[in-house]
Amino acid sequence: MIKTTKVGGTRKKVLDMTGFLAVVAVFLLYMVPFALVLLNSFKKKRDIIKNPFSVLTEKGYTLDNYVKAFDKMDFLKAFGNSLFITGLATILVIVFSSMTAYYFTRAKNTFSKVFFAMMAASMIIPFQAIMIPLVSIYGAGLSILNHRLTLVFMHTGFAMSMSVFIYQGFIKSGIPISLEEAAYLDGASKVKTFFAVVFPLLKPTTATLVILNVLAFWNDYLLPSLVLGRKELYTLPLSTYAFYGTYSADYGVIMAALVLTVAPLLILYLFLQRHIIDGVVAGAVKS
């Protein structure tokens, strides 16, 4: 007879405690950089250079860094640009990728299979490999750089593949086709069926893709720096570059600018966090 070892009692408590401590250690590892940025955003430059890890300061804490950052980076203008670009690009990605994924899932023809495979394969192409031809074509060829809509168009295109892939996995495994057939019997068209029946059921995946795409668009520095050359079009990440001088940098103001940049994302995450894990798990199904 084969004996089985049952984990329980003291051994189980030790394993649970070890796992809990490991999670806490990883959490602290990720939070330390943000905590240092937040702490140093209230310090004078001299205190930051002397000891950026110290909670105690010689000059005391101040809000002057935030006032200077708000004014020098033209926060309201940069925030408006970031909000417009990120919001419009995210809406376009959600609408078009969900519709595309729905077609790829339900069509079941050679066209849908080939194009879905091509979109999935395109995710492995690094942006750095195509950024120079992209800027050359849109800059020299079409002369449409220095426009926010150009950046929206590029963000939408680059985010489509991943979004379609995640939506397709959720639709295939989580939405029964019987619901759509019932809508067809009631006289609904395919478009109405999608928006009235299918799309509301995609809420967890949509919340996940919203936060993922907003994070990517809002924090992106490389693509906006290639497309937007005029200061009045700068997004928040681009506007923080104004604090870096040739020979020195005001670290306290930089830290304050970084906090102002990420604060809207933290607020958005607080509203969507309960949907994110469900959406990631639901969309990570083998297609």
Q: pLDDT tens digits for 255-284?
A: 999 899 988 888 877 776 766 666 555 545
> Is residue 141 in some structural domain?
yes
Quote the mean pLDDT of the chain: 85
Q: How far apart are CA 116 and CA 244, in angstroms?
A: 44
More confident residue, 46 or 83: 83
Number of domains in the chain: 1
User: In degrees to the nearest 10, what's the CA dihedral of 264, 157, 153, 271?
Assistant: -20
Q: How far apart are CA 14 and CA 20, in angstroms?
A: 10
pLDDT value at 203 more than 70: yes
Q: How far apart are CA 42 and CA 236, in angstroms?
A: 20
> Is residue 3 in some structural domain?
no
pLDDT value at 43 more than 80: yes
> Is residue 125 in some structural domain?
yes
Closest CA to 238 of 258, 248, 224: 224
Max CA pair span of the chain: 79
Specify which residues 249 forms β-bridges with.
244
Kindly tell me the burial class for residue 201, based on how many C-beta atoms sit within 10 Å of its own C-beta (0-12, 13-18, 19 or more): middle
> Is residue 182 in some structural domain?
yes
> Is residue 22 in some structural domain?
no
Could you tell me the end-to-end alpha-carbon distance of the chain, in angstroms, rounded to an integer?
A: 42
Closest CA to 210 of 273, 140, 117, 124: 273
pLDDT at 59: 75
More confident residue, 246 or 229: 229
Q: How far is CA 14 from CA 4, 6, 20, 24, 25, in A?
A: 20, 14, 10, 15, 16
Q: In this structure, are residues 205 and 166 in contact, taking their beta carbons and an 8 Å threshold? A: yes
> Is residue 138 in some structural domain?
yes
Query: Within 13 Å and on the Cβ side, how many CA atoms surround 107?
Result: 15
pLDDT value at 285 more than 60: no
More confident residue, 270 or 231: 231
Q: Percentage helix, strand, coil, to 5, in the chain? A: 75, 0, 20
Specify the residue for token string 């010689």: 58
**Residue count (the chain):** 287
- 178 lies in which domain range? 64-283
What is the arithmetic mean of pLDDT over 8-34?
87
pLDDT value at 233 more than 80: yes
More confident residue, 141 or 62: 62
pLDDT digits (tens, 9 = 90+) for 48-58: 888 888 888 87
pLDDT at 287: 43
Q: How confident is the model at residue 213 (pLDDT cuts 50, 70, 90)?
A: very high
pLDDT digits (tens, 9 = 90+) for 148-197: 999 999 999 999 999 999 999 888 888 888 888 888 888 888 889 999 99
> pTM score, two decimals?
0.82
> Is residue 180 in some structural domain?
yes
What is the arithmetic mean of pLDDT over 244-250?
66
What is the arithmetic mean of pLDDT over 24-44?
89
* Most confident of the ranges 12-26, 89-103, 231-245, 251-265: 89-103
What is the arithmetic mean of pLDDT over 208-228?
90
| CATH (domain of 251) | 1.10.3720.10
pLDDT at 25: 93
> Is residue 46 in some structural domain?
no
What is the arithmetic mean of pLDDT over 53-82?
87
- Both structure tokens of 170: 């959720």
pLDDT at 128: 83
Where on the phi/psi map is residue 108: left (φ > 0), alpha (ψ -120 to 50), or beta? left
